[in-house]
Structure 1
Amino acid sequence: MEFIDLISINKLDGVILKYPRQENVDGTVCITGHHLILSSRKEGVRELWLLHKNIDAIEKKENKISGGITQGGSLFLKCKDLRIFQLDIGSTTELHQVAQTLENLSSLQDPSLFYPFFYRHMHPIMENGYTLYSIEGEFTKVLASEEWRVSRVNQNYSVCASYGKAVVVPKSIDDETLAAAATFRQGGRFPVLSYRHNNGAVLLRAGQPLYGPKHRRCRPDEAILNTVVNAGMKGIIYDLRSSNAISQQQNKGGGTESAANYSQWKIYNRSMDDVDNQQQLLESFSKLIEACVDRDISSDKWISRLESCGWPESVRNALHTACIVAQHIHQKAEPVLIHGTRGEDATLLVCSLVQIILNPDCRTVRGLQALIEREWLQAGHPFGSRLRCGPFGAQPRAAPAFPLLLDCVRQFLEQFPCSFEYRQAYLVALYEHAYASQFGTFLCDSDQERQTRGVYDQTTSIWSWINQPDELATYLNPLYEPTPNVIWPSVAPMSYVIWEELYLRWLVEQRTESREEQYRAIRAREQQLRAQALAARRELCDLAAQYYAHAPTEQ
């Protein structure tokens, strides 16, 4: 298929662009295989370059004149980055041609036709982002403990289609046992190591056991889990589903671990059905953005509408669940296994948040990159399907689980402004590029699909771009102070802060003085007061020394 076959009209003059908080622009629209480009002859007006993949929904409104005759109309382009453009077009025929062309190009499903395969980076690549974060490199300390090893049982993706080629497993468990355990877990997602804390406690993740109505048992799976439990201790299994969801899955052949067969483990339910239910999560996100777009309501009603959409509750629930899991690991040194149904959404979300709480490395720029690589990309989160549409669209299997992670991290940044090397702009950039980008990092549904389609060979990694010194500087937090401490986020309802810098950035004027500037002023004042206190203390010591030097000695 050629792009030209999808383009009914490639150039149109006299198009009026209307955009919130901006002057109307009278210009020329050009449509290429990947971009809509609007340019104006007016000096000082920047060109608009919009990736077709960024278009989430297209609404068409014709102008009705006397006698029921139509004459031109408007196209409303609702984008995944939350912008909404209005294009006024004078001719009805051309209105329909532009609309149909954009519908054709924005609904392409074949990743090989997406822009990353055609984009060529203009500057030399200093490092290949696709090879930065290997399993061996990320788990160096763990592998040195002689308790864990890297298994390549999935080298050909034959054991688990959604896992990467390499996973970390207990050293005493051979590959045959892993392959047998995979047949007992949804999607072949047998238990693998996600994180090992500095006290030795580990975090594992997996898919649900295929327990079924016949109470199926799998001794290889039990062997994997029992290997990580020390004598005199019990491990913790958190099933991220409600009891009702587990019952429904059991009727389909799934279920949860049997207490009789997993006697060395305590099994708890911590419902995150709102995340694993893709339709529910997408509806929640859509209502959030709808509330943000609708600014003609009173403040009290707006706050109530934000809360009732369900998104803030999903953020708090994810953070609360992560805190509970982190307490088992940090305070009680207990091994924890997490899973939902397939283990591709809520499971990865909680595992990531636990590591941000416990591991200060994840609070650095490269640490977050490594976390996304091992807990989302290599762990099989289906980015291609989940982010096929944004809050204005509706596609099967689409769900903003990854944007939910970014919002959760945003809450951390709000509560711990000095504990993270990166600032909000970093999270916003990840949000935008996850949906539509010139980079290939977030393409496809799995490592296997990216490998098969040539993503690693034919596209550029987003990490290659972000880690360039000039680009990296824009994402660094000037208030950052590295700390080895564990951080515990507040999950109280009043602690949630709407992510204005993302959800409202195109709709309202952002504050001239950012929180970052306020914190910087406070820190500067603190340093000034500390210097004054130190000077006063030194002066006091000098006066005391002079006094005792001249004071009469006792007889």
Structure 2
Amino acid sequence: MLRSSQPLTGPNRKRCREDEMLLGTVLEEGERGFIIDTRSAQAAKQARMTGGGTEPKSSYPQWRRLHRPLERGRPLQESFIKLVEACNDTSINMDRWLSRLESCRWLSHAALSTACLAAQCMDSGPQGAKDPSPAGHPQLPFTPVIPPRGVPQAGHPFHLRCAHSAYSHARLKQEAPLFLLFLDCVWQLSRQFPFSLEFSEHLLLTLFDNAYASAYGTFLCNNEKERCLCKVKESTHSLWAWLNQPGEKKKYLNPLYSHNTLVIWPSVEPQSIQLWQGLFFRWIRSSQHLDEAWAEIQRLVEGN
């Protein structure tokens, strides 16, 4: 991922020479790249009238813009709520369960978001997210390491997006499980490539828990300015500092991880996207046997 931003071309079609130079230095002569715009073409056109816009083709000759609109805001929150309600209803039969799973459309969101994950940031406010990715080289930015610590610093408004869980009766306008959807996409990758990610599912679950309720200040406020004004760093402890302690870090590592320099190509076919049972069934199904199995795997790996 190179950048996540919206050109402020406006109705007068202004240009940004610095951005043109930035993208111009990425590709060699003869190479082509894609700019993924997670808004619809109509939404991008409307944004131009209020000062936003898109990259002019003539100013970015080596880049092709693709519109891949993603759901955000209220529709995504409603999808999350419907999924949680279906998962917690243990009285329904198989046909009813499959019907409710399909109607909530969460797996559709996960499939589309996983397809865009290598080249876009899930949320950058109402203007959408836009990220160039060199054509033919969609290298995943987090293959060997934990999910980026820079998500809060990059401006994801955790206070607005994660104000309540799916169990709350409140329906806030700005609330949306975008960070959860990002974690779900990472889990889909970890399931398809169990040897390629250094961290385990346990880390993803921990990040989800702390995004909604945490003893740490990592996910407080909506942006870096608010965190500075609230003196978050001075008044709270960092979740990352805790996770990076040698004794704690070991708990979140994937015992099957093997360094791989090759590009991984995730499948987003309907048959490839699965429900994240470790998260959505965690309150109705014990993970004891699975935890014991992973502990045994780690013991065997360390023994070798």
TM-score (norm 2): 0.84
Aligned to 2:165: 390
CA distance in 2, matches of 1:341, 1:208: 12
* Aligned: 1:249 with 2:26: no
Taking the TM superposition and a 5 Å limit, the aligned residue runs for 1:537-548 are: none
- 1:34-113 to structure 2, matched below 5 A, reads none
Q: 1:497 to 1:381 in 2, by over 3 A?
A: same
CA distance in structure 1 between the aligned counterparts of 2:80 and 2:42, rounded to whole angstroms = 24
Residue 218 of structure 2 contacts residue 238 of structure 2 at CA under 8 Å; is this kept in 1? yes
**1:445 equivalent among 198, 222, 241:** 222
| Equivalent-residue separation in structure 2 for 1:207 and 1:415 (angstroms) | 30
Q: Distance in 2 between matches of 1:339 and 1:223?
A: 21
- Distance in 1 separating the partners of 2:172 and 2:253: 35
In the alignment, which residue of structure 2 is the partner of 1:283?
78
The separation in 1 between residues aligned to 2:22 and 2:68, in whole angstroms, is 23
C-alpha distance 343-233 of structure 1, shift in aligned 2 (>3 A): farther
Aligned to 2:265: 488
Q: Secondary structure at the match of 2:112?
A: helix
* 3-state SS in 1 of match to 2:57: coil
CA distance 1:496–1:229, change in 2 (3 Å) = closer
* 1:297-322 Cα shifts (integer Å, max 9, x gaps): 11122123112212111111011224
Matched AA of 1:501: G
| Residue 341 of structure 1, CA deviation | 8.7
Contact kept, 8 Å, 2:3 with 2:132, in 1: the verdict is no
**One-letter amino acid matched to 1:384:** H
Please say if residues 344 and 382 of structure 1, whose CA atoms lie closer than 8 Å, have aligned partners that are also in contact: no
Query: What is the RMSD of the two structures over their aligned residues, measured on CA atoms?
Result: 3.3
Matched residues, number = 297
Bigger mean CA deviation after superposition, 233-242 or 341-350 = 341-350
Output the amino acid matched with 1:236: F
Aligned to 2:35: 237
Residues 503, 438 of structure 1: alpha-carbon distance in 2 compared, 3 angstrom cutoff: same
C-alpha separation between the residues in 2 aligned to 1:309 and 1:278? Answer: 15
**CA positional deviation for 1:440:** 0.5
Matched, 1:377 2:152: yes
Q: Does 1:477 align with 2:250?
A: no
* Structure 1 pair 412–321 and aligned structure 2 pair: CA distance change class (3 A): same
- Compare the two structures and name the one with the higher strand fraction: 1
2:4 matched residue in structure 1: 206
1:260 aligns with 2:58: yes
My pick for the range that moved more, 476-485 or 214-223, is 214-223
Contact residue 139 and residue 264 of structure 2 kept, 8 A? yes
How far apart are residue 220 of structure 1 and its match?
A: 4.0
- 1:428-443 aligned at under 5 Å gives the runs 428-443=205-220
| SS of residue paired to 2:191 | helix
Cα shift at 1:517: 4.8
Query: Displacement, 1:342?
Result: 4.2
Question: 1:430-457, CA deviations, whole angstroms, 9 ceiling, x for partnerless residues?
Answer: 1101111110111111122212211111
Aligned to 1:506: 283
Provide Cα deviations, 1:111-170, integer angstroms capped at 9, x if missing partner. Answer: xxxxxxxxxxxxxxxxxxxxxxxxxxxxxxxxxxxxxxxxxxxxxxxxxxxxxxxxxxxx
Name the CA distance, whole Å, in 2 between partners of 1:458 and 1:452.
11
On the 8 A contact 2:5/2:131 being kept in 1, the answer is no
Check whether the contact 2:4–2:130 (CA below 8 A) recurs between aligned residues. Answer: no
Residue 268 of structure 1 aligns to a residue whose secondary structure is strand
Structure 1 residue matching 2:254: 3-state secondary structure: coil
Structure 1 residue runs of 5 or longer lacking an equivalent are 1-202, 326-337, 528-555
Contact kept? 1:387, 1:400, Cα under 8 Å: yes
Counterparts of 1:468 and 1:411, CA distance in 2: 27
In the TM superposition, what is the alpha-carbon distance from 1:223 to its structure 2 partner? 3.5
CA distance in 1, matches of 2:45, 2:203: 41
Change (3 A) 1:270 1:308: same
Q: CA distance change for structure 1 residues 403 and 392 in 2, over 3 Å: closer, same or farther?
A: same
CA deviation after TM superposition for structure 1 residue 391, in Å? 1.6
Q: Which residue of 2 aligns with 1:57?
A: none
Match of 1:297 in 2: 92
SS in 1 for 2:167: coil
Q: TM-score with structure 1 length normalisation?
A: 0.48
- Displacement of 1:345 in angstroms is 9.6
Q: Structure 1 vs Structure 2: percent identity of aligned residues?
A: 39
Does the aligned pair in 2 maintain the 1:209–1:257 contact within 8 Å? yes
Distance in 2 of aligned mates of 1:280 and 1:423: 29
Pairing 1:140-151 to 2, within 5 Å after superposition: none
Deviation at 1:516, TM superposition (A): 4.9
